[in-house]
Amino acid sequence: MKISKAIIMAVATLFIIGATNTACNQTSKDQDSDSQQSSKVDEKADLEAACKGEIDHSTWSPDATTSVEFNAFPKNLDEWKQMQEVLGNEPQGAVALQVMAFELYRNNRTDGEEALRLNNTQTNYNSTEGRLREIMGKDQFYARPYIAWAMLDGATPENGYTVEPPYSIKMKVDPNKKYQESQMLHGTVIYLLIDSKGWDTNWRGVEVVKPEGSKFFVVCNCPAMYTQCKEAKASK
């Protein structure tokens, strides 16, 4: 039986089309994979953070200044935990993580509460979370849901506490408070001051400690951080 040239050409064409489609599909999958990898890289880059300047963990250093820089606020608890792995072994890192937990609390109450639990002593968690419920509330005269942004360098009431990344939180060791050993907290309490334009007085006091056996520093006292900041002149 003879097969016409037309049939042979049609079969050959179908074979070529099929092979081309397979190659295109594979290329598309490769591109999707590359895109996903790129997205993961971008996401990781967004979460990069670093402590600038060293603080002696055991000896009072009244002239020490420091800052923490980061590219984005964590969007969920997993991202916040990634930040803790990077920043949590430094006292200034615990302060920055507290600011991040405030913003997470604003956007995701459940994750924010857990981040606060992980970054605070139990006593300080209770007082902080209780006040945040008021600060993040619906009272138009009292609520300051943008309070985390008020602690960023360059943020002011006049610019609506709006700053562009990378974000920076500037701090210094309190020159008037020496480190103090705490038997109750099983560690050395370090007193830091956040430089902020969101309140009448620039410096927001925070106390941090690394309890014996703990992997990370945690916040043990910080009423100045959740005191009502000035109202933003523009919405945030």
User: What's the confidence (pLDDT) of residue 234?
Assistant: 73
- On whether residue 192 sits in a domain, the answer given is yes
Task: Flag whether 232 is in a domain.
Answer: no
DSSP-based three-state secondary structure for 195: strand
Overall pTM > 0.85: no
Side chain identity at residue 229, one-letter code: C
71 plus 176 within the same structural domain: yes
Residue 220 lies in a domain: yes
Which residue range(s) make up the domain with 15?
A: 1-46
Tokens for 232? Answer: 């933003």
- Judgement on whether residues 72 and 188 belong to the same structural domain of the protein: yes
pLDDT tens, residue by residue, 75-84? 999 999 999 9
Same structural domain, 34 and 56: no
Q: Look at residue 211 and tell me if it is in a domain.
A: yes
Per residue in 117-140, pLDDT (tens digit) is: 999 999 999 999 999 999 999 998
CA distance 47 to 80: 9
- Same domain membership, residue 70 and residue 123: yes
| 157 lies in some domain | yes
Domain shared by 118 and 133, yes or no = yes
| Residues 70 and 180 grouped into a single domain | yes
61 & 158 share domain: yes
Residues 18 and 95 in one domain: no
Query: What is the total count of domains within the chain?
Result: 2
74 and 153 together in one domain: yes
133-146 core/surface letters (b: 16 or more CB in 10 A; e: else): eebbeeeeeeebbb
Q: Is 155 inside any structural domain? A: yes
Q: What ranges make up the beta strands (E) of 79-235?
A: 167-173, 180-182, 187-195, 203-209, 218-221
Residues 66 and 167 in one domain: yes
| Local mean pLDDT, 10-residue blocks, the chain (236 residues) | 45 43 46 44 68 93 95 98 98 98 98 98 97 94 96 97 97 97 94 97 96 96 98 80
Q: Is residue 82 part of a domain?
A: yes
* 31 and 66 co-located in one domain: no
What's the one-letter identity of residue 212? E
